[in-house]
Chains A and B, each alone.
Chain A
Amino acid sequence: MELLQRNYFELLGLPTQFEIDLTILDEHYRKLQSEVHPDRFVTASSNERMQSMQIATQVNEAYQTLKNNTARARYLLQLNGIETLEESNTAMPADFLMLQMEWREAIDDANAAKNVSALDALLIEIKQMAKALSLNLNHQFAENSYSQASESVRKLSFIDKISADINRAIEQLEN
C-alpha cells in the first residue's frame, strides 16, 4: 500500500517542513480518518479490515507527532538523519542547567508547602519558555541549523518531562 510508504507530512497532505498550519493539519487528519478508519470497513473483507487498521494506526501516529512541536521537530530531524539522543545526551548550556535546578527546587518547595498555586504559576512560566523555544525552532529549521534545532528539542523534551512532573504533583496535592 502506497500510503504506508509516505512520511508523516506526506501522509497528512502537508509540506515536509517544521512550520505547518495546525488548522489544516486537523482538517486533513479528520478527512483522512474518515476514509481509512476501521469503522468504514466493519463488513469488508479481512484484508481490507487489516489494512485499514494498519493505516488508521499510522495516521494517528502521524497526527500526534505533527501536532506537538517537540515531536514534530524530533521527527523532522530524524528524517534528515539526525537523532536527538535525548536519553544519553546530557550536554546542556550552563544557563539552562541553572534554570533546571531552579525549577526543581521550586517544585520541591511548593510540594513541601502544599502550595498548588505556586505549582500552577511555575507551569505557566515553563510553558512560556517552551513557546519561545518553539519559535526558535521555526528559525532554526528555516535556516537548516540542525544542531541548534537538536539542542532546542533536547530542552523542550526536558520541559515536557518537568511539566508532567508538576501536573502529577498538582494532582496529588488536589486529592
Chain B
Amino acid sequence: MALLQIAEPGMSAAPHQHKLAIGIDLGTTNSLVATVQSGMSTVLQDEHGHALLPSVVRYLEDGNIAIGHLAQAAQSADPKNTISSVKRFMGRGINDIPDTTHIPYKFRDTGAGMVQIETRAGIKSPVEISAEILRVLKDRAEKALGGELTGAVITVPAYFDDAQRQATKDAARLAGLNVLRLLNEPTAAAVAYGLDNASEGVYVIYDLGGGTFDVSILRLSKGVFEVLATNGDSSLGGDDFDHRIFCWILSEAELPPLNQEDTRLLLTKTREVKEWLSENYEAQITSVLSTGKIVNIKLTADKLVELTQTLVTKTLNPTRKALRDANLSIEEIKGVVLVGGATRMPQIRQAVAEFFKQEPLTNLDPDKVVALGAAIQANVLAGNRSDDDLLLLDVIPLSLGLETMGGLVERLIPRNATLPVARAQDFTTFKDGQTAMSIHVLQGERELVSDCRSLAKFELRGIPPMAAGAARIRVTFQVDADGLLSVTAREQSSGVEAEIVVKPSYGLSEDEITNMLKSSFEAAEQDKQARALRESIVDAERLIEAINAALAEDGHLLSADENFTIQAQVQALKTTIHDKNKDHIIQAIEILNHSTENFAGRRMDASVKKAFAGKNLNKLEL
C-alpha cells in the first residue's frame, strides 16, 4: 500500500501552484510584455491584437493620459505634451542631451539631477512617464492572466549605468510592479535564443535599439549563461539614423527653422522612410508643413547608407573593446545574434557580417526576443522551478570608482566583473571628533573625476568620535545582481555601523518617490496609513510563504524545538495580519526574520553539500 504524505496544517504553502510572472521589454520605441504559459514564452497582445506598445505618453487637456498608438497618432498635433523615447532621459541630466533644438519638449533646467519635462499636466520626471507605460503593460498582463502577479523581470540595456537602472526600478515601483530582476537586454535575448536553439558555445549579441546600443559576449553551456564582457553606447540607436535623415531633408528642401509640430511631423516621416528603405531602393518623401510649404524629395537606399555610415562604424568600437576584454578573437565566436528593430537595416547586417566574417543569425523576431527571454527568466525567478532552469551570470558594464585627492578616480570595481561583486575600502578621519564623511562614487573608465559619470554621494553619519586618524572605517561597496550599488560602513574598532544617506546625482530621492506614489493613487486610497498597512501585510504574507516553503523543504535541518518556535512565530505574525495593526505586523516580521537567520545559513550549507555530493555519488555508480 502506498504511503500518503499528508502535510501538517499550515505547512503546505501550495508549492506546486504556478506563480504568475511577466517579462517586460521597456524599449525606447516600443514596449512589450510576455509571459510563460504551458511552458511556452509568448508576447501578450492588447484588445486590438497589437503586441507592440509604442513607448509614447500623451498628457491630454481633460487630465487623462493616453499611452501607445493613440498617443503616437497625436504626436505631430501636440508635440509638447506627447513624449516619446523617454528612455533616453532616464537617469540623464540636461547636459547629457546633445541637441535639444530638434526635440519638441520643454525641458526644465534645474541645473542638476535628472532631466524634467514641463507638460500641461505639470512637471514630469522620465520616471513618472515610464511608469505610465509600465502600468499599461501590467494591466494587460493581469487581464490576460486573470490573477495577481508575483512579479516582473524588466529589461534594461546592458550598458545602462546605476542611475539609469535605478530610475527604471523606481518607475516599476510607481507602476505597482514587484521587480524580480533587472535583466540586461542582450542577456534576455540570449536566453530566448539559446533555449530556442539549444546552442552551446561563445556567442555575440549585437543589440541596436531605438536609442541604445549594446554588444555582449556570452558563453552558453548547459544550464549556465555567463556574460564574458559587455560594452556599448547608451545614446546610440535607430533614432540617430532618423535624425541624420531629418537633417538631410532640412538641407535638401532648404527649409527654414521649423516649429515643433513640423519637426515632429518630419521626424515621424523619417522613421517611415528608414524602414521603407530596408526593403526598397528608393523612397519618396512627401509632406505638407503647417506653413503650407510642400516637401517633395527622393531618398535612395544608397544615399541613406552614405548619410549614416559613421553611425554604423560607431557600433564597431564597443564591439572591438568587448572582444578584447573577453580575450577573444572573431574566430572563436560561434554565432552573432542580431537584436533590436534597427538591425533590420541591410547596412547593419552587412557591417556585422563583414566584421565577424560570418552571417549573423536573425531567425528570432528582433522586436520580441528580449521580452520573450525576460518572461522565461521571470518564470524561473518567481518560483516555477524545473530541471532545465538557467543560471544567468551577468557583469557590471562600467567600472566603479571613488573620488580621491586632486580630482582623481581610484578604481574600486573593474568593468565586466561578474555579479554580485563587492569591495571593501578602509577610510579614516581628518579631524578630531569627526562623526561624518562623504564618499563620491563614479562610474567610468577614465582617471579624472571630470571625465567620469557621477553616480552619487554617500554620506556616512554616526561615526563614533575619535582622534583624527584613529578611526578605521571599512566601507563595503556591494553591487547586486541588478547591477545596483549599495554601501555599508562600519567603524572597525567599535563595531558601530554608520548610517548611510544616499544623494544620487541623477536620481530621485526617497521623498520624491513617496510624493509621486501619493499623487498617483486613487482618491479613496490617499490615506498614507492605509497604504503603509497594506504594504506591511504584503511583506508579511511574502515572508510567511517563504518560511513555509523553507520548512517544507528543509524542516529536517531544525531541531523539534526550533521548528516549534518558528511555527509559533509564523502563527503570531498571521494573527497580527488579522488584527490589521501595522506596528505589530512589522514587529512580528522582525522577530520571525531574526529567529530564522540561523536556519537560512544551514539551508545554504546543506544545498551546497548536496550539489557536490551528487557528483561523488555518480562516481560510485560507475
Q: Verify if A44 is at the interface (C-beta below 8 Å from B).
A: yes
Stretch of B24-32, B524-532, B605-613 at the chain-chain interface: B605-613
Q: Verify if B320 is at the interface (C-beta below 8 Å from A).
A: yes
Beta-carbon contacts of B310-350 to A below 8 Å, as 1s and 0s? 00000001001100100000000000000000000000000
B181 A45 Cβ-Cβ under 8 A: no
Q: Verify if B297 is at the interface (C-beta below 8 Å from A).
A: no
A57 B478 Cβ-Cβ under 8 A: yes
B604 A3 Cβ-Cβ under 8 A: yes
Q: Verify if A53 is at the interface (C-beta below 8 Å from B).
A: yes
Stretch of A27-35, A109-117, A128-136, A141-149 at the chain-chain interface: A27-35
A32 CB to closest chain B CB, in angstroms? 6
Residue of B nearest to A4 (CB): B601
User: Contact check: which of A32, A43, A51 meets B546 at CB < 8 Å?
Assistant: A43
A1 B605 Cβ-Cβ under 8 A: yes
Residue of A nearest to B226 (CB): A30
Q: Which residues of B contact A36 (CB under 8 A)?
A: 604, 607-608
Q: How far is the CA of A51 from the CA of B422 in the complex (A)?
A: 13
Q: How far is the CA of A7 from the CA of B65 in the complex (A)?
A: 57
Beta-carbon contacts of A117-141 to B below 8 Å, as 1s and 0s? 0000000000000000000000000
A57 B421 Cβ-Cβ under 8 A: yes
A31 B478 Cβ-Cβ under 8 A: no
Considering residues B19, B180, B546, B593, which has the most beta carbons from chain A within 10 angstroms of its beta carbon? B546
A38 B612 Cβ-Cβ under 8 A: no
Residue of B nearest to A43 (CB): B383
Q: Verify if A48 is at the interface (C-beta below 8 Å from B).
A: yes
B481 A39 Cβ-Cβ under 8 A: yes
B268 CB to closest chain A CB, in angstroms? 35
Residue of B nearest to A63 (CB): B418
CB proximity to B under 8 Å, residues A10-52:
13, 28, 30-39, 42-48, 51-52
Q: Verify if A87 is at the interface (C-beta below 8 Å from B).
A: no
Q: Which residues of A contact B223 (CB under 8 A)?
A: 30, 34
Considering residues A28, A31, A38, A43, which has the most beta carbons from chain B within 10 angstroms of its beta carbon? A43
User: Contact check: which of B420, B422, B546, B608 meets A48 at CB < 8 Å?
Assistant: B546
A34 B324 Cβ-Cβ under 8 A: no
Q: How far is the CA of A42 from the CA of B604 in the complex (A)?
A: 14
Q: Verify if B547 is at the interface (C-beta below 8 Å from A).
A: yes
Q: Verify if B60 is at the interface (C-beta below 8 Å from A).
A: no
User: Contact check: which of B391, B422, B600 meets A37 at CB < 8 Å?
Assistant: B391
Chain A interface size band reads: 35 or more
Q: Is the interface of B mostly helix, strand, loop or mixed?
A: helix
Q: Is the interface of A mostly helix, strand, loop or mixed?
A: helix
Q: How far is the CA of A56 from the CA of B393 in the complex (A)?
A: 11
Q: Which residues of B contact A31 (CB under 8 A)?
A: 611-612, 615
Residue of B nearest to A175 (CB): B317
Q: Which residues of B contact A45 (CB under 8 A)?
A: 543, 546-547, 550, 593, 596, 600
Q: Verify if A78 is at the interface (C-beta below 8 Å from B).
A: no
Q: A53-B420, A57-B420, A57-B422 are in contact. Are A35 and B608 (CB under 8 A)?
A: yes
B535 CB to closest chain A CB, in angstroms? 14
Q: How far is the CA of A35 from the CA of B252 in the complex (A)?
A: 61
User: Contact check: which of B320, B422, B543, B604 meets A1 at CB < 8 Å?
Assistant: B604
A47 B600 Cβ-Cβ under 8 A: yes
Residue of B nearest to A60 (CB): B418
Q: How far is the CA of A1 from the CA of B104 in the complex (A)?
A: 57
B418 A46 Cβ-Cβ under 8 A: no
Q: Which residues of B contact A60 (CB under 8 A)?
A: 417-421
Q: Verify if B298 is at the interface (C-beta below 8 Å from A).
A: no
Residue of A nearest to B543 (CB): A45
User: Contact check: which of B151, B392, B604, B607 meets A39 at CB < 8 Å?
Assistant: B392
Q: How far is the CA of A150 from the CA of B391 in the complex (A)?
A: 37
Q: Which residues of A contact B615 (CB under 8 A)?
A: 31
Q: A42-B382, A171-B324 are in contact. Are A47 and B392 (CB under 8 A)?
A: no
Q: Verify if B500 is at the interface (C-beta below 8 Å from A).
A: no
Q: Verify if B50 is at the interface (C-beta below 8 Å from A).
A: no
Beta-carbon contacts of B496-525 to A below 8 Å, as 1s and 0s? 000000000000000000000000000000
A3 B180 Cβ-Cβ under 8 A: no
Q: Verify if B472 is at the interface (C-beta below 8 Å from A).
A: no
Q: How far is the CA of A44 from the CA of B381 in the complex (A)?
A: 10
B593 A52 Cβ-Cβ under 8 A: no
Q: How far is the CA of A36 from the CA of B320 in the complex (A)?
A: 33
A12 CB to closest chain B CB, in angstroms? 10
Q: Which residues of B contact A3 (CB under 8 A)?
A: 604-605, 608
Q: Verify if B69 is at the interface (C-beta below 8 Å from A).
A: no
Q: Verify if B118 is at the interface (C-beta below 8 Å from A).
A: no
Residue of A nearest to B321 (CB): A171
Q: How far is the CA of A30 from the CA of B381 in the complex (A)?
A: 18
User: Contact check: which of B321, B599, B604 meets A52 at CB < 8 Å?
Assistant: B604
A34 B381 Cβ-Cβ under 8 A: no
Question: Which 10 pairs across A and B sit closest by C-beta, in order of nearness?
Answer: A1-B601, A47-B600, A42-B381, A45-B546, A48-B600, A38-B481, A57-B422, A57-B420, A35-B607, A30-B224
Known: A42-B151, A43-B542. 12 other contacts (CB 8 A): A30-B223, A34-B224, A34-B611, A37-B391, A37-B393, A38-B420, A42-B382, A45-B593, A47-B597, A47-B600, A60-B421, A63-B418
**B interface residues with partner A (beta carbon < 8 Å):** 19, 150-151, 180-181, 221, 223-224, 317, 320-321, 324, 380-383, 391-393, 417-422, 478, 480-481, 542-543, 545-547, 549-550, 593, 596-597, 599-601, 603-605, 607-608, 610-612, 615
Sample 9 A-B pairs with CB under 8 A, ordered by A number.
Answer: A2-B605, A3-B605, A30-B391, A34-B223, A35-B608, A48-B603, A61-B421, A167-B324, A171-B324
